[in-house]
Amino acid sequence: MENQYAVGLDIGTTKIVAIIGRKNDFGKIEILGKGKAKSNGVHRGVVNNITQTIQSIQQAVEEAENESNIEIKDVVVGIAGQHIRSLHHSDYITREDPEKVIDEEDIENLKNQVLKLVMLPGEEIIHVLPQDYKVDSQAEIDEPIGMFGGRLEANFHVVVGQVASIRNIARCVKSAGLEMANITLEPLASAEAVLSQEEKEAGVAMIDIGGGTTDLAIFKDGIIRHTAVIPFGGNVITDDIKEGCSIIEKQAELLKVKFGSAWPGENKDNEIVSIPGLRGRDPKEITLKNLSKIIHARVSEIIEEVFQEIKNYGYDESKKTLIAGIVLTGGGAQLKHIKQLVEYITGMDTRIGYPNEHLANDSSEELSSPMYATAVGLLMNGLEQKEKQQAMQKNNLQAEVVNDEEVTNTDNNSDVSEEETTEEYKEPIKKKEKKLSVFERFFEGLKEFLKNAE
């Protein structure tokens, strides 16, 4: 088990984070090393400078390697960015033999129907997520496998992305000397890190406010129902402060983090912060009330856009009620009084989501911050993949042992008639062929593309 570690690589707009960890004896994640680098080549979740992004990835990975004394070979990468969009689609198949029970192959055939959807140029389907099924006239079925029926129908949540943007991220990772163990949608990774199963069942909207984008993932009855990426994040707030106060970006970011508030009423008129002047110029005085007004205006705009997506999902319908309300995470969730502002705009219960629930007690306090939710979620995804691979290897090993025993039994029973031998022993044990999911097929295609591009 000592080699059973995984690495999550979060390629964000403001920072690139690499976290290496493994599960301890209690099922909690033990962080072995962490690396962080400033992200210079990414804008709103999309790579716009390959060279700078490669350098930032290498810097973050090197830092994590030095801290953990482990050489990092493969990573789980997150994808987000303004090019990600989602849509709802219903499709059906007519089964050849209604007398046979519905199996996994039927579900796979139905998903393949969805893959025939015509997308915009340059777009490709990344995730096909079934919502509920209908068999003949019986609707609202969660699991149709084992049932009888002639027509199998389903509602799907389809996630679509620009192939070029995803290939650019994959190219950066490969050029940094790393292999991609997996690639996953960032809102799903963040949700894994900060949401409980009870919240997913009750209905919850997770809002991840990052540097360049704000990601939304809505869960109900334990299933993801809606995803969206809003192309605004913490960076636009910093830009507004920079313009509104006529200061440089570094000072604007510092002001936002140290003194920023999303609720202007909290600051008095006489609360002033002094900013050092440039090259011997006089210091600049800024009132915290004005600072809060600038932040409030932009944050309200972002939350309004996210709330519109929640409305598009139909949260006010009785079957779609989000009982658990909203969970805020990401670096933007650390802004003072943002919880109160979200509650005021949406009228929904809100909490800040921290990834510390899954981390071992000896983990650093910094990693428990909402800004590391995506990286921790990606690490969890990587560890889950490793566990699945280990279980498959174990099953294959057991199957081989069974085959060997069959052969031994055949040799030992040489006195059995040839006819009996043919019937009982010569029947080969068929290994079930592993079917790739839509996302696995996309991922395999991506790896093949990178291989051919060398």
Tens of pLDDT, residue by residue over 255-308, are: 999 999 998 877 777 788 888 877 778 888 889 999 999 999 999 999 999 999
pLDDT band at residue 201 using 50, 70 and 90 as cut-offs: very high
Q: In this predicted structure, what is the pLDDT of residue 254? A: 92
Q: What is the DSSP string of 46-84?
A: EES-HHHHHHHHHHHHHHHHHHHT----EEEEEE-STT-
**Longest CA–CA separation in the chain, Å:** 104
pLDDT band at residue 425 using 50, 70 and 90 as cut-offs: very low
Is pLDDT of 422 > 50?
Answer: no
Is pLDDT of 424 > 60?
Answer: no
Mean pLDDT of 435-452: 69
CA neighbor of 302 nearest in space, from 272, 273, 262: 262
Q: Are 362 and 30 in contact (CB under 8 A)?
A: yes
Evaluated on CA atoms 99, 156, 442, 19, the torsion sign reads negative
The answer as to whether 411 is a domain residue is no
Q: In this predicted structure, what is the pLDDT of residue 411? A: 59
The answer as to whether 67 is a domain residue is no
The answer as to whether 272 is a domain residue is no
| Whole-angstrom distance, CA of residue 336 vs CA of residue 162 | 35
| Whole-angstrom distance, CA of residue 3 vs CA of residue 168 | 30
Q: In this predicted structure, what is the pLDDT of residue 253? A: 92
The answer as to whether 298 is a domain residue is no
Q: In this predicted structure, what is the pLDDT of residue 438? A: 63
Q: In this predicted structure, what is the pLDDT of residue 426? A: 45
The answer as to whether 112 is a domain residue is yes
The answer as to whether 371 is a domain residue is no
Is pLDDT of 386 > 90?
Answer: no
Higher pLDDT, 7 or 427: 7
Burial level of 297, CB count in 10 A (0-12/13-18/19+)?
Answer: middle
Is pLDDT of 2 > 50?
Answer: no
pLDDT band at residue 332 using 50, 70 and 90 as cut-offs: very high
Q: In this predicted structure, what is the pLDDT of residue 430? A: 46
b/e for 43-55, b at 16 or more Cβ within 10 A? bbbbbeeeebbbb
Higher pLDDT, 350 or 416: 350
The answer as to whether 391 is a domain residue is no
Which residues 6+ apart lie within 8 Å of 3 measured at CB? none
Q: In this predicted structure, what is the pLDDT of residue 366? A: 81
Cα–chain-centroid distance for residue 424? 49
pLDDT band at residue 73 using 50, 70 and 90 as cut-offs: very high
The answer as to whether 98 is a domain residue is yes
Which residues 6+ apart lie within 8 Å of 57 measured at CB? 9, 11, 16, 18, 37, 172, 173, 176, 178
CATH code at 126?
Answer: 3.30.1490.110
Q: In this predicted structure, what is the pLDDT of residue 429? A: 47
Q: Are 213 and 46 in contact (CB under 8 A)?
A: no
Structural domain range at position 101: 85-163
What percent of the chain shows pLDDT beyond 70? 89
Is pLDDT of 401 > 80?
Answer: no
- Phi first, then psi: give them for residue 427, nearest 5 degrees: -70, 115
Q: In this predicted structure, what is the pLDDT of residue 387? A: 85
Q: In this predicted structure, what is the pLDDT of residue 59? A: 96
H, E, C per residue of 134-186: EECCEEEECCCCCCECCEEEEEEEEEEEEHHHHHHHHHHHHHCCCEEEEEEEH
Sequence letter at residue 11: I
| Whole-angstrom distance, CA of residue 114 vs CA of residue 124 | 12
Number of domains in the chain: 1
Q: Are 64 and 20 in contact (CB under 8 A)?
A: yes
Residue corresponding to tokens 């163990």: 181
Mean pLDDT of 20-29: 89
Range scoring the smallest mean pLDDT among 43-47, 93-97, 306-310: 43-47
Is pLDDT of 14 > 60?
Answer: yes
Is pLDDT of 434 > 80?
Answer: no
Is pLDDT of 115 > 90?
Answer: no
Which residues 6+ apart lie within 8 Å of 281 measured at CB? none
Range scoring the smallest mean pLDDT among 103-107, 117-121, 270-274, 402-406: 402-406
Q: Would you state the torsion angle of the CA atoms of residues 258, 262, 265, 271, taken in this order, to the nearest 10 degrees?
A: 20
CA neighbor of 313 nearest in space, from 205, 194, 209: 205
